[in-house]
Amino acid sequence: MSISVFEAARPVIKGLIIAVLAIVGAYIGHWAHGAMLNDYTPVQPIEFSHEIHAGENEIPCQYCHSWADRSATAGVPSVETCVGCHKGLSEVRDTPDVVKLFDYWERGEGIPWVKVHDTPDFVHFRHKPHIRGGVECQTCHGPVEEMVRVTRRVDLNENLRMPWCIDCHTEEDVANGRDCLTCHY
Amino acid sequence: MLSRRDIFKYLAGGGVGVGTGLLLGEVNQRPLETLLSTHIPPEDFSPGMDTWYNTLCRMCPAGCGISVKVREGRAKKIEGNPNHPVSQGGTCALGQASLNALYNPDRLRAPMRSDGEGGFVESSWEEAFAAIAPRLGAMQSAGMGSRTWILTAGLLSSGEEALDKFREALGANVLRLGLDTPATELAAAQAMYGFSGLPYYDIAKADLVISFGADFLGAWRSPVGYSKAYGEFREVGDGHRGHLVQVEPRMSLTGANADEWLPARPGTEGALALALAAELLRHGGSSEELNGWEGLSGALSLDEAAALADLPAERLHALAERMAAAETPLVLGGGAAGAGSNATETLTCVAALNRVLGAAGDYRAAQPGARAPILGAERQSRDLYPRRTTARCRW
């Protein structure tokens, strides 16, 4: 009479296989969500096209995001800024999104843009030193001038994390660039 | 080996895993935030940066200088303005809390009109002007301007001038009402100093301060300014440490800090002050200071005043001696003593005591339109608006 450990362990092995399959499935599901079901490209209240404004018409970024070189935040332009140009642009006045813009203007309301790029609350990212240090906007934001609807690209999303910041800070030999308190304060 | 049943089991396991993964991805996603743009940005609008505005605190009539931190067009924090003469960088709890008044949901933001049923409804300024202006005009053209009353609390500088012009144009009267409107103190100052305004008490250089009800460390007049002056008054570096006597029925913050607390019966403060003045005059003082003021004839003796105020007579005698010996004594009146039915008389008597002590200085020189008389030791020499120096730290 032989005693087979393998025979006795068979149900356990079966259970293990199911568990491994479930874990692998979970990884696949999580990845699939990030790749396909993410909201890195949120729908905005007005279908504002950076491709037309920054691309075709070559309006500089800081014409509208004018606090980037002065403040922590780049800022979104006021409705007044949009209308300032658009009231002289009668040829696009009747397109649906410009009509929406003028509706906001007449109601006296701001436009609730949806944030595309956002750092967690424990990270204090400041635009000013980066812009003054000569970092291109596209380095972090991607080629915005080619985007109709602004997107946070998946690879950027993976990259826009602390190791990515630290790599650049090390490469550029930023003063106190590797100090925790430079960003976490 | 691999049964059909097993394949189903493995597929189910994998399926549950994928579902869990999708769910985890969804749950772990940071919620989307909105970035509300401004419609027309306020002046100096700069997102992400502080803008500081210097202004005056309006939580009490003292008017301390404050700096307000504004972010994205909203007031966020209040600090004292170190360059302001009254507060010299200080603020009180009330001033710090004034942001809560600003953002209070019950704060009135528009004119309110009575709805005739005991309630009020919001109306626009246009409606309010349209309702009031014709009636004011009719009153004025009918020669009944003097029957118009403007009800207000204290306003500041230009507001006060605008009010004055408005009153003149209508021929109307102004009735000042408010918790902090010192009507009795104004009346007493008018009676004793011939000045329509409030005197400034320079306690910093006094060596004896007797306060009749004035809680100047708590809530009276200009707590931040007086707290600064109190620090100088109590300074011990050069052997000068002022003696503080507080006369009031309920122990206030100032009473708790005083060297002597005299719980006189409410309403008897005036009689006490007058009795002390008479006692001082009896001991070599000159009534010339009082310029024939008749009120003095009603003075009680110290013992009578002590009985009236329910105080031990020997404490009053000791106080009178201390006053006679003091070099730069000063008497304050207000607060509880300025709130009874005989408050104007009380404060007039307190002012008379100041004059007997010689603390009232050049009150006669104070003309209408001149700045308020400064009562205290170095009355005319001390700059009303002292610069802030670090030289005061002597130890």
**Number of residues written out for chain B:** 395
Q: Is there a single domain that holds both residue B263 and residue B165?
A: no
Q: Are residues B301 and B355 in the same domain?
A: yes
Residue B334, domain member (yes or no)? yes
Q: Please check whether residue B29 touches A, CB under 8 A.
A: yes
CATH at B248: 3.40.228.10
Per-domain boundaries in chain A: 1-37, 41-75+117-185, 77-112
Alpha helices in A37-133 (DSSP H): 50, 61-64, 79-86, 96-107, 127-132
Residues on chain A touching B41 (C-beta within 8 angstroms): 78, 80
The answer to whether B349 touches B290, Cβ cutoff 8 Å, is no
Does the residue B187 lie in any domain? yes
B27 touches chain A (CB under 8 A): no
Across the interface, do B41 and A31 touch by the CB < 8 Å criterion? no
B314 belongs to a structural domain: yes
Size of interface A-B (CB pairs under 8 A): 135
Task: Kindly determine whether residue A25 and residue B20, on different chains, have CB atoms separated by under 8 Å.
Answer: yes
* Partner-chain contact A72 B48, CB within 8 Å: yes
| Amino acid B239: pLDDT | 66
Q: What tokens does B135 get?
A: 């009636």
B24 domain residue, yes or no: no
Nearest CA in chain B to A84: B40
A157 vs chain B: nearest CA distance in angstroms?
A: 12
- Closest chain B C-alpha to A37 CA, distance in angstroms: 8
Q: What is the 3-state secondary structure of chain B?
A: CCCHHHHHHHHHHHHHHHHHHHHHHHHHCCCCCEEECCCCCCCCCCCCCCEEEEEECCCCCCCCEEEEEEECCEEEEEEECCCCCCCCCCCCHHHHCHHHHHCCCCCCCCCEEECCCCCEEECCHHHHHHHHHHHHHHHHHCCCHHHCEEEECCCCHHHHHHHHHHHHHHCCEEEECCCCCCHHHHHHHHHHHCCCCCCEEEHHHCCEEEEECCCCCCCCCCHHHHHHHHHHHCCCCCCCCCEEEEECCCCCHHHHHCCEEECCCCCCHHHHHHHHHHHHHHCCCCHHHHCCCHHHHHCCCHHHHHHHHCCCHHHHHHHHHHHHHCCCEEEEECHHHHCCCCHHHHHHHHHHHHHHCCCCCCHHHCCCCCCCCEEECCCCCCCCCCCCCCCCCCC
Does a structural domain hold residue B8?
Answer: no
Residue B208 φ then ψ, to 5°: -145, 125
Tell me, yes or no, whether B59 and B168 share the same domain: no
Chain A residues with beta carbon closer than 8 angstroms to that of B35: 76, 112-115
Of B9, B22, B37, the CB nearest to A79: B37
Closest CA to B273 of B212, B335, B192: B212
Tally the domains of chain B.
3
Same domain, B157 and B254: no
B262 and B171 housed in the same domain = no
pLDDT of residue B43: 80
Domain extent for B91: 51-102
Q: Is B22 within 8 Å of A18 when comparing Cβ atoms?
A: no
Which pairs count as long-range contacts for A8-12, CB under 8 Å and 24+ apart, including other chains? none
**SS3 assignment, position A69:** coil
* Buried b / exposed e along B110-125 (16+ C-beta atoms within 10 A): ebeeeeeeeeeeeeee
**DSSP alpha helices (H): ranges in chain A?**
5-36, 50, 61-64, 79-86, 96-107, 127-132, 137-141, 154-159, 162-171, 180-183
Q: Between the CA atoms of A80, A109, B32 and A144, what dihedral angle is there, to the nearest 10 degrees? A: -20
When pLDDT is cut at 50, 70 and 90, the band that residue A135 belongs to is very high
Comparing alpha-carbon positions, the chain A residue that sits nearest to B42 is A78
Residues B215 and B352 in one domain: yes
Task: Answer yes or no: do B21 and A67 touch at CB < 8 A.
Answer: no
- Are B199 and B152 members of one domain? no
CB atoms A26 and B24 under 8 Å = yes
Nearest to B38 among A23, A70, A110 (CB): A110
Could you give the C-alpha distances from B57 to B75, B93, B197, B218, in angstroms and in order?
A: 13, 12, 20, 17
Q: Are residues B204 and B164 in the same domain?
A: no
B293 and B274 within one domain: yes
The answer to whether A115 contacts B15, with C-beta atoms less than 8 Å apart, is no
pLDDT of residue A47: 93
pLDDT at A159: 60
Question: Which chain A residue's Cα is nearest to B35?
Answer: A113
B135 and B259 assigned to the same domain: no
Contact B26 A33 (CB under 8 A): yes
Q: How does pLDDT run across A21-49, given as a tens digit for each residue?
A: 999 999 998 888 877 777 778 889 999 99
pLDDT confidence of residue B184: 84
- What is the Cα B174 distance to its own chain's centre? 21
User: Could you tell me if B142 and B204 lie in one domain?
Assistant: no
Residues B141 and B220 in one domain: no
Q: CA B118 to CA B235: how far, in whole Å?
A: 55
Task: In whole angstroms, give the CA distance from residue B176 to residue B197.
Answer: 14
Q: Give the pLDDT score at B374.
A: 56
Which H or E element spans position A113? strand A112-114
Q: Residue-wise pLDDT tens for chain B (395 aa)? A: 678 888 898 999 999 999 999 898 888 777 788 889 999 988 888 888 899 999 999 888 788 999 999 998 889 999 999 998 888 899 999 999 999 999 999 998 899 998 889 899 999 999 999 999 999 889 888 888 888 888 887 676 688 888 889 988 888 888 877 666 677 888 888 888 776 677 778 888 788 999 999 999 988 888 998 998 898 888 866 667 899 999 999 999 999 999 999 999 998 999 999 999 999 888 766 666 676 677 787 888 999 999 999 999 999 999 999 998 888 888 999 888 888 888 888 999 998 888 888 776 554 433 444 444 556 543 333 333 333 322 222 22
Quote the pLDDT of residue A74: 92
Domain stops at, among B161, B176, B191 = B176
CA-nearest residue of chain B to A78?
B38
The C-alpha R_g of chain B, in whole angstroms, comes to 31
State how far the Cα of B127 lies from the Cα of B113, in Å rounded to an integer: 9
pLDDT attached to residue B126: 94
Nearest to B212 by CA among B325, B305, B90, B88: B305
d(CA A80, CA A106): 11
The pLDDT assigned to B247 comes to: 96
Beta carbons of B13 and A42 less than 8 Å apart = no
Percent of chain A residues past pLDDT 90, beyond the cut: 59
Chain B contact set for A21 (CB, 8 A): 10, 13-14, 17
Task: Please answer yes or no on whether A25 and B25 come within 8 Å at the CB atom.
Answer: no
Residue A100 clears pLDDT 60, i.e. is over it: yes
Q: What is the ipTM of this complex?
A: 0.79
